[in-house]
Amino acid sequence: MSANESSADPPEAASNVADLPQEGAPTTQAEPVAPDPQALEADLVRLFEQARVQIAAGLLRSAQDLTIIETLPTVEKDGGGWTTGETVIETNVLRRRFPAPFPRERLSGWLEQAKDLAKSMTEDIGTEVALRMPGGSVSFPWADLEGLTQAAFPMLFVGVLSPAYVYLTELANPGEPDLARAQYIAHQVVTVLRQGIFTAVQMIVLGNLDTDQDVIECQGSRLRVLTAIERAQLNEWPLPPRSIVPGRPLRFLTPTHSLEVEIASSEPNRVGSLDPPLLLTALELHGCHLVGLGHMSTTLVEKWWASGLHGRPLQTRSIQSSNAHITEELFMTACQTAEALSQYNLYKPACSIDIALQRFMLATTRSDAADSVIDFAIALEALLLPYDEETRHAHLSYRFRVNGAYFMAGSPGERRHLFKSLRNLYNLRSRIVHGDKYPAAAEANEGARVARELAERGLLKALSVGFPTAEQLNALVLDASAVGACDAVGSSSV
């Protein structure tokens, strides 16, 4: 579309006197005209382009550049050291300096057309969305807004001006059109306002990851490699001094990937309250040791409705000794596990199952190995020692070992190994909590590794076959043919 075509007014419909009803002639009820979404989208695209042409012309008349050059510092992990550099990008000047400095009256004619389109959209779309003024101010010249109804006034800003603003600022260069982008935004506006469904993206920045593909997608979730510009714009997260463990090789966080979850909602103003980072816990359950920036951000795909990011702190580790590797198959499996986790409340536990999952989640974020041992042990206790009216608090340590050995093992030989591992974990946890010969760093690190493996195994099985009750665990032990052998191992090794 040329500049002249973009700025031309739409042709006026011709009228014919012969077409008007004559006096005394019978009148018929006019059929209601069905809304034409494609026509509304085409009108929006035309207005977007008219605004672009006029603003670009205003910039050039005032001898301003349409783009600016920005230099961003980069920090990359390179083997055992750091590599610093620079990334040079060319940015649309409207992203930094908007509105363009030109007389307000230059957009007055455009604004009148925008008002007319807002009226048409209000009448034709029939939206159920409660329109309100968007957050922030849309940087368009204010003009006479008389003639707008109470419904058309917010439609002007939400359905016309704000989308036009998004289009203008997302252009690579305001002097060059991007009709595909304009059509995408216009279709998004008409569709969303008609259906009332918004899409939010919640994002967690992760570091020190390796993946076989740049983007892995599954059920509205995706793990993607950050672009060079995104990595350059992310500052290195400060490292807590207590995270440094002497004698242990550490790898400081280098942002590499973004874990993103899309959520559809009919309440755009409350979409930030949704909480999908269960996928992070699911990946941890499958053995992925993840590190991140400790923040989850939320943004609407429909930027014209609400711009900017909303977020909250999210506890994650900031250092680790090696990179985690995530395959497409592993990511797909983790997505299925996240679905299973969604029926439990990991953030406000209401039962022992919630406690087991929450403590595992907390343990994976601890920077201190002893803290991790305690949380993993609590997770296993909540799983393997459900409330039993008959036994109450009797022989907790022994029941912990026996229940775990029979619930998690697949063979008698494996039961013996699990029985011993659970005994050692329970003893280590007791030493940490009750103060008997606090473990050295090496012992605590090894204890945290084993405790994590046990917790992963037990919780994944429970999510698959169901969390066992006290009666089920008792029956499992009593009905097993190898219970005598296991008892003998337990009594001889205590």
- Three-state helix/strand/coil letters over the chain: CCHHHHHCCCCCCCCCHHHCCCCCCCCCCCCCCCCCHHHHHHHHHHHHHHHHHHHHHHHHHCCCCCEEEEEEEEEEEECCEEEEEEEEEEEEHHHCCCCCCCCHHHHHHHHHHHHHHHHHHHHHHCCCCCCCCCCCCCCCCCCCCCCCCCCHHHHHHHHHHHHHHHHHHHCCCCCCCCHHHHHHHHHHHHHHHHHCCEEEEEEEEEECEEECCCEEEECCEEEEECCHHHHHHCCCCCCCHHHCCCCCCCEECCEEEEEEEEEEECCHHHHHHCCCCHHHHHHHHCCCCCEEEEEEEEEECCCCCCCCCEEEECCCECEECCCEEECHHHHHHHHHHHHHHCCCCCCCCCCHHHHHHHHHHHHCCCCCHHHHHHHHHHHHHHHHCCCCCCCCCCCHHHHHHHHHHHHHCCCHHHHHHHHHHHHHHHHHHHHHHHCCCCCCHHHHHHHHHHHHHHHHHHHHHHHHHCCCCHHHHHHHHHHCCCHHHHHHHHHHHC
Q: Which of 281, 370, 411, 389 is nearest to 334 (CA)?
A: 281
**Which residue would you say has higher pLDDT here, 69 or 45?**
45
**The residue type at 399:** R
Cβ within 8 Å of residue 21, ≥6 positions away: 27
CA distance 193 to 198: 9
Supply 109's token pair: 């004619």
- Cβ–Cβ contacts within 10 Å for residue 323, how many? 15
Checking if the pLDDT of 423 tops 70, the result is: yes
Across the strands, what pairs with 77? Answer: 82
Checking if the pLDDT of 118 tops 80, the result is: yes
Supply 67's token pair: 């783009």
pLDDT in tens, 264-287: 877 665 544 446 679 999 999 999
Checking if the pLDDT of 4 tops 50, the result is: no
CA distance 284 to 376: 13
pTM for the predicted model, two decimal places: 0.75
Q: Which of 38, 42, 62 is nearest to 50 (CA)?
A: 42
pLDDT in tens, 429-438: 999 999 878 8
pLDDT class for 452, splitting at 50, 70, 90? very high
Checking if the pLDDT of 23 tops 90, the result is: no
Going from the C-alpha of 407 to that of each of 228, 235, 370, the distances in angstroms are 47, 46, 26
> Which of 31-40, 233-242, 368-377 has the lowest average pLDDT?
233-242
pLDDT value of position 75: 60
Across the strands, what pairs with 325? Answer: 210
pLDDT value of position 22: 44
> Which of 120-129, 292-301, 385-394 has the lowest average pLDDT?
120-129
pLDDT value of position 143: 45
pLDDT class for 137, splitting at 50, 70, 90? very low
408-433: b (≥16 Cβ within 10 Å) or e = bbeeeeebbebbebbbbbbebbebbe
Across the strands, what pairs with 377? Answer: none
Share of the chain above pLDDT 90, in %: 40
How many CA atoms within 13 Å lie on the side-chain side of 223?
A: 26
pLDDT value of position 425: 97
Checking if the pLDDT of 94 tops 90, the result is: no
pLDDT value of position 478: 85
User: How distant is the alpha carbon of residue 489 from its chain centre?
Assistant: 48
Q: What is the mean pLDDT of residues 8-22?
A: 38
pLDDT value of position 179: 96
pLDDT in tens, 243-268: 333 443 444 567 889 999 888 877 66
pLDDT value of position 102: 44
Torsion angle defined by CA atoms of residues 392, 395, 396 and 402, in that order, rounded to the nearest 10 degrees: -120
pLDDT value of position 358: 96
CA distance 269 to 148: 25
Q: Which of 238, 434, 233 is nearest to 319 (CA)?
A: 238
pLDDT in tens, 165-177: 899 989 999 999 9
pLDDT in tens, 34-63: 568 899 999 999 999 999 998 888 888 888
Q: What is the mean pLDDT of residues 7-25?
A: 39
Q: What is the mean pLDDT of residues 197-226?
A: 90
Q: What is the mean pLDDT of residues 188-205?
A: 88
pLDDT class for 353, splitting at 50, 70, 90? very high
pLDDT value of position 308: 60
Supply 201's token pair: 């993206």
pLDDT value of position 311: 77
Checking if the pLDDT of 421 tops 60, the result is: yes
Checking if the pLDDT of 223 tops 70, the result is: yes
> Which of 22-31, 33-42, 193-202, 456-465 has the lowest average pLDDT?
22-31
Supply 418's token pair: 């699990």
Locus of tokens 């939010």: 200
Supply 27's token pair: 């009148």
**Which residue would you say has higher pLDDT here, 280 or 478?**
280
